[in-house]
Amino acid sequence: MNDRQIEDLMRRARPVQSPSSGFHQARQELLEEIMSSQTEETLETGSDVTPLRIRPVKRTAWLAGVAAAAALVLPLVFFPNNDETVSPAADLPQQELKSDGNPYLFVENDDWKLTELYQGAAQDGSETFTRGRESMTISWLPMRIWDRTLERLGPDIDERGTIDVFGQEATILGLDLHYELLIPVGEVFVTVRIDGIREREAFLSAVSGLRVLQPQEWEAALGEGFVRPETSVAVAEEMLSDVPVPAGLEAADLRAEYSQDRYYFGIDVLRTVSCAWLEEYAQARAADDDKGMAAVDDALSGHREWAVLQEMNRTGDWGSQVPIFAAKVAIRADVSPYQEALSCDR
């Protein structure tokens, strides 16, 4: 059993599926590499220049299931090594993708439910649909990291070919335990990855359920439980109802630019509030202002009771950052890593 198969086995033991291996691991590493480069790369949207943001990966407590999962016998799946052009299947979608950002793809089959939505920037997002133990993740990323993505995936690619889908030629990859599509679309490329399906025909059958929607149709299809720009201020007010907020920060300042699920929107809300408090603390500490440091301590000391943090901790582990820095504030320690740890400048 190799490392990727072990990772897949561990992923299946997690209560909430997380697209953190394979392409998504390469994606995170690439974005981190871009973010840490001396000349920061940006995403251009019209006349605006937007920094790339690194998607916070959802992780949940799953170690308790690993020991039991390790006892399972995982069948090895081998893909033939070839590089062939595959004729388009009659039922593969051929609607043309026309987007330099969100492709507005949705699964037509009601058995697939949208469970995750992240949009960090116009050219940095993903949506995940689940069906039982299977998960389909559709991501869109800047075209400039296409070559580096394939380079990172290289050692794990057992099969590589092309296939006609969405009216154009796409790259299909067979990796250790799944297939993926990489589709170039203008200034972005779109990926479709399905975990829990290992056979090529079953993968293509699931892909055949994808449809391109108009932006308004896609927004309407999200359903309840997702935060849209027009509802984001009200959701921010609700999330902050029991959270102390620094002077000068209003819920209106937290209006979302893109639709997201509550977890990722909650990260934006708590990041903004936490960074503001920690900036006040750092300034007070530098000035030996005991009263100022105590005010921040009072604000953060009740974090265990914040409803939004409790909600987020049931889904992922971003919220674990807040107690770490609250504890540092309580003992008047240096919190200088907070800007990087919380991505305060993103």
Q: Which segment of 38-52, 65-79, 91-105, 288-302 scores lowest on mean pLDDT?
A: 65-79
Q: Would you put residue 132 in left (φ > 0), alpha (ψ -120 to 50) or beta?
A: left
Identify the CA nearest to 189 among candidates 126, 146, 235. Answer: 146
Please, how many CA atoms are within 13 Å of residue 92, restricted to the half-sphere of its CB?
A: 19
Q: What is the pLDDT of residues 158-217, one digit of tens each?
A: 888 999 999 889 999 998 889 999 999 989 999 999 999 989 999 999 999 999 999 999
Q: What is the pLDDT of residues 55-100, one digit of tens each?
A: 565 644 333 333 333 333 333 333 333 444 443 455 899 988 888 8
Rg (CA), the chain: 22
Structure-block tokens of residue 154? 């290289």
Tokens 């987020």 belong to 312
- Which sequence spans correspond to the domains of the chain? 3-221, 226-341
Q: Residue-wise over 135-152: b if at least 16 C-beta within 10 A, else e?
A: bbbbbbbbeebeeebbeb
Q: Which segment of 21-25, 113-117, 127-131, 287-291 scores lowest on mean pLDDT?
A: 21-25
Q: Where are the alpha helices (DSSP H) in the chain?
A: 3-13, 23-36, 66-70, 146-153, 200-207, 215-221, 229-239, 262-286, 290-300, 307-313, 321-330, 338-341
Contacts of 24 (CB under 8 A, 6+ apart): 57, 137, 139, 193
How large is the average pLDDT for residues 101-117? 95
Structure-block tokens of residue 2? 């190799």
Highest mean pLDDT among 25-34, 47-56, 126-135, 165-174: 126-135
- Residue 17: is its pLDDT beyond 80? no
